[in-house]
Chains A and B, each alone.
Chain A
Amino acid sequence: MITPANRPSYSGDTKPFVWAGISLAIPSEWETGQLGEGYALLEYRFRPAMELKTAPIRGRFSFPRHLKQLTRSGLNPSPPPVKQIPPPAEWPDFPPEAELACFSWKGDHLSGQGLLYYCRQCCRATLLQFYDPVGDMAPRVLASFKDHDTQSGPTFAVYDIAAVLPEAYRLTRFAFNAGRFELVFSHAGAVVTLWRWSPADVLLARAKGHLTPIVQANGLLPAVAAQDPGHPVEQGLEWRWPNSSWRNRLGRLRTASAPPVNALRIWHRPDANRILAVGAEGVAEGDIFDRICRSYGII
């Protein structure tokens, strides 16, 4: 039930949310609640605000079949029945290559509405559902929806972090634990890992103000670079080390030019009370590593 006390209030500011290839501008008051493969739950004041599920579709798209699949693939094993509805008048127009169907549902304590969107160009189906009483934000969020051509923005923007990675890199592993986030991207044998720790002041106090103990405690450096004190970069430290001999030879065979880059950069963001780090193994150019580090930040 919506009462004046639990009616949402928004400042009007937005922030990016990018996950599983879907890009949205969400109200700055919404927070990432849960993430999975092709799944995201956004929350407002610790209550569900919006849920996103996305998957590539092989073969013909069928609204009833894929709606059933996507509603069952969430966390709720027995979701309430959904009712197909005409698109609400205030929702934005979508591009002509999209097939969409809107629906609403009502459970014991929660209700909401959403849409199943299928893009014929990228053959991807996306289900977005908005939980009441935040449904009135739906038109603004839907107007920002992008499921392809997202290269101009970040590759991911979740919780409080965002970064841009080269298009070919795919997210292969992620873990969001309290205090420590880790995302692993890979492409053609190269691996890029991004870390984020918080609160930085507590961690740095335990490490007597140095970043090296944090690197050591998390095992971020291979044995070959473990004795190297690292060279200073802005607010942090950086290490570079050569490939193992067989990898080096293979790398040189593949790319006749410079050998692949292995590096780790860790830096402190005192303004946000966070520590960020980027690790690269076998990345083709040093420039890619630098660009990833520059793009990685707090939102």
Chain B
Amino acid sequence: MGLFRKKAAAPRLSRDEALRCVPVKSGAIQASRTTDDVIRLRYPLVLKPWIAELARRFSSSPAKPPARQLELDELGSLTWDLIDGHRSVGDIVRQFARQTQVHPKEAETAVTQFLRELGRRGIIGMAPGQRKGNNRKG
């Protein structure tokens, strides 16, 4: 019955805990800046093992794992540049709001959606953050 067993739900983070998490870029990502000054990411496709095996057998260049490209817009590129493995999500939101002059709530929505999308594609991971007094960074 193990095949059909339901996956245990991941523990839900509170908003505070989520804002304290630190996004970390995956080592497998190749980031380059285009002539339009935006970021282009090349990231390996995360495939199910049997699909990966098929891809390996039938691919014309089996040594090269399948990869995808993602071109970020101006705001995505700005957020990407703010991910340094030290800044928490909250710090990135505040910095993004300051640099773009958007309302903090809009910055929070936009940045967290963007980070979620990067995480879904395996481009970034999230490290649990340290509890700080007020979670602020100049």
Contact = CB atoms under 8 A, between A and B. Distances in A.
Interface stretch (A58-66, A79-87, A198-206, A214-222): A198-206
Contact of A5 (B15, B74, B104, B134): B134
A3 B135 CA distance: 13
A46 B108 contact: yes
A205 B73 CA distance: 12
Pick from B93, B103, B104, B113 the residue with the most CB of A within 10 Å. B103
A160 interface: yes
What class of interface size applies to chain A in its complex with B? 20 to 34
A198 B101 contact: yes
A198 B102 contact: yes
B16 to A, nearest CB: 7
A247 interface: no
A164 B44 CA distance: 53
A243 interface: no
Contact of B100 (A5, A46, A199): A199
B133 A46 contact: no
A5 B101 CA distance: 26
A199 B101 contact: yes
B106 A179 contact: yes
Interface string B95-138: 00000111111111110010000000000000000001111100
Interface string A190-233: 00000000110010010000000000000000000000000000
Among B104, B113, B133, the most chain A Cβ lie within 10 Å of the Cβ of B104
Most buried by A among B16, B107, B109, B134: B134
Contacts of B15: 46
Question: Which of A202, A205, A272, A273 has the most chain B CB within a 10 Å cutoff?
Answer: A202
Given A160-B103, A198-B101, A202-B75, A178 B109 contact: yes
A128 to B, nearest CB: 20
Contacts of B75: 199, 202
A294 to B, nearest CB: 23
B19 A46 contact: yes
A33 interface: yes
Contacts of B136: 45
B102 A179 contact: yes
Contacts of A47: 16
A33 B106 CA distance: 9
B23 interface: no
B135 A45 contact: yes
A78 to B, nearest CB: 15
Contacts of B16: 46-47
Closest 5 CB pairs of A and B: A5-B133, A273-B101, A178-B109, A178-B110, A178-B106
14 contacts: A3-B133, A5-B133, A6-B134, A46-B93, A46-B104, A46-B108, A109-B14, A160-B103, A178-B109, A198-B101, A199-B75, A199-B101, A202-B73, A273-B100
Given A159-B103, A178-B106, 8 more contacts: A5-B132, A6-B133, A32-B103, A45-B136, A47-B16, A109-B14, A178-B110, A198-B101
